[in-house]
Structure 1
Amino acid sequence: MRKLIGYLFAGLVLFGFAATASLAYAYPIAAAVVCPSCYGMEYAGRRIVVDAAMPAQMRAELLGDAEIAASEVGAFYGAFSRQPYLVACSTEACDHRMGGRGAKAITLSTPFVTVLRLSPRGIDPTILTHEFSHVELHHRVGLWARLTGAFPAWFDEGIAVLVSADQRYIRSAPTASERCVRDSERPLPTTPFEWTSKVGKDSMLYADAVCRVLRWMDANGGRDGLLRAIDAAGDGTAFNPDQALRGRGLS
């Protein structure tokens, strides 16, 4: 019996080591939150991890941009209820070490913690506001709805463009049609995996997504209707914005 307990204990220890190693390999940004020095990183503020070589000016910009982004997201959603960890790099070499493969920023959401990876090109208030929108929405609708496409990835991305007012994909204008930079009738990706694959080939999918979100909002009570739909999706209510748009002849 004692030997069996010993074997079980050893197995648990080995499993723990394997799980930790897998996490560090697959998601170095998550591991860097736990052990920043293991990756040449350090804490520059509460929940903010940067590479040790990041200049003071860039650190100050990052802190300021994060405050702006949190304020913008809180104003749109009524709250910014889940503060993420930020793992930011000042060099492309650091970004690559943290798992970056060209994207300006990536949000890793789990039921327990949310971590954002920022490349040197992602230290920007618009990019951070976009990512913080994902953080808040993911917290509200839950992991299952996103992974299964029950809450479509394109709708998530379109909201993030709207909240961040990213001028590459949305104009400042009084009506939805005037704000649209591009309005495509093509089907848009519903799962995060499909979105990542397709947007890498056509970044203007962001413009298509936000235009469709704007048209949905026009037909469904604007911002208040959008927030109600998000809360309902979080409670398990099926959400099919494409169907709603087709039902009103808008898609």
Structure 2
Amino acid sequence: MASKRRWAGRGGGRSRRARMWLLAVLVALPVAAVTVVAVAFPSVAATTCPACYGLERLAPDVYAEPGLTASQRRQVISVVEEANRRVRDFYGGRKTSPRILACLTGGCYRWIGGGGERGIAVLNHAVMLSPGGLDPVIASHEMSHVELHARLDSGGDEVPQWFDEGLAVLVSGDPRYLAPETAPDRCVVSTEEALPVTLDAWLRAAGADKRTYAKAACRVSGWVTANGGPHAVPDLIQRLNAGEKFDTITKM
């Protein structure tokens, strides 16, 4: 009996240790997952928890690096407000209010996961702006991506990348790739060639030829004008959500 009691004691200790080990693993798993995300996808982590990356809240869903002057703070807020206006005016309203992370130094932008781009939309719920992207044009370009994808039931898979990018240029009114609104023809560069459909193909093409943005903007602008103006885009989205095919609707 004594030996049985000793074995039972060992077994109980092992069982308790096993339960404690399992509990420790379960507790550690979320921590490990967060760590993996933070290391592998810092932009996702930063836009999810800006304060975790030392960013300060300037306005609802607007964050910037700390230590900015009053003038710099006003600059960030002004850029965001104007960019929001451009998207709202084009669509006749907003479905989204993306979180904005603004950096005025390269070190800040790299810290939150940015690269060589001027701005980027993150998971269709946030926008990161580099020092070179603190401009209503760049900000509204990225907000346009967020707005379009949020309005599409599929998240945007059925829309070719060239249309997404060309539309963002049109919404933002980017003077690098479009003539002024008052011009009879807003095209800077026109083409009949096929434009990149996938993101990877777009990145390769745009990296090799910056006129790719102008070509896409020309085609989208022409389609929007031919179909009665900006309201053609919400109509397109509604029809896509109803199951119609992009090529059938646009007939480009």
TM-score band, normalised by the shorter chain?
0.7 to 0.9
Contact preservation (8 Å) 1:129, 1:164: yes
The equivalent residue for 2:79 is 65
The equivalent residue for 2:142 is 131
Cα distance, 1:104 vs structure 2: 0.4
Deviations 1:185-211 (A, max 9, x none): 222121223323332232221100011
Deviations 1:3-22 (A, max 9, x none): 88766654443331232112
Please give the residue correspondences for 1:36-47 in structure 2 after superposition, counting only pairs within 5 Å: 36-47=50-61
1:210 paired to 2:217: yes
For the structure 1 residues 190 and 6, does the alpha-carbon distance in structure 2 shift closer, same or farther, using more than 3 Å as the test? Answer: farther
Pick aligned residue for 1:163 from 159, 171, 188: 171
Q: Which runs of 5+ in 1 are unaligned?
A: 246-251
Cα distance, 1:174 vs structure 2: 5.4
Pick aligned residue for 2:117 from 92, 100, 103: 103
The CA RMSD over aligned residues, in Å, is 2.6
Corresponding letter in the other structure for 2:175? Q
How high is the TM-score relative to the length of structure 1? 0.83
Deviations 1:82-118 (A, max 9, x none): 10111111101111112221100000124xxx11110
Corresponding letter in the other structure for 1:116? V
Pick aligned residue for 2:197 from 170, 190, 210: 190
For the structure 1 residues 242 and 235, does the alpha-carbon distance in structure 2 shift closer, same or farther, using more than 3 Å as the test? Answer: closer
* 2-structure distance, mates of 1:189, 1:12: 45
Contact preservation (8 Å) 1:141, 1:235: no
* 2-structure distance, mates of 1:228, 1:243: 11
Corresponding letter in the other structure for 2:219? R
1:78 paired to 2:92: yes
Corresponding letter in the other structure for 2:63? V
* 1-structure distance, mates of 2:20, 2:204: 46
How high is the TM-score relative to the length of structure 2? 0.83
Corresponding letter in the other structure for 1:86? I
Percent of residue pairs identical: 37
Aligned length: 238
Q: Which runs of 5+ in 2 are unaligned?
A: 1-14
Q: Identify which range, 78-87 or 40-49, moves more after superposition.
A: 40-49
Cα distance, 1:46 vs structure 2: 1.1
Corresponding letter in the other structure for 2:168? A
Corresponding letter in the other structure for 2:238? D
Cα distance, 1:216 vs structure 2: 2.1
Please give the residue correspondences for 1:212-227 in structure 2 after superposition, counting only pairs within 5 Å: 212-227=219-234
* 1-structure distance, mates of 2:146, 2:156: 14
* 2-structure distance, mates of 1:3, 1:229: 61
* 1-structure distance, mates of 2:249, 2:206: 19
1:151 paired to 2:164: no
* 2-structure distance, mates of 1:90, 1:218: 37
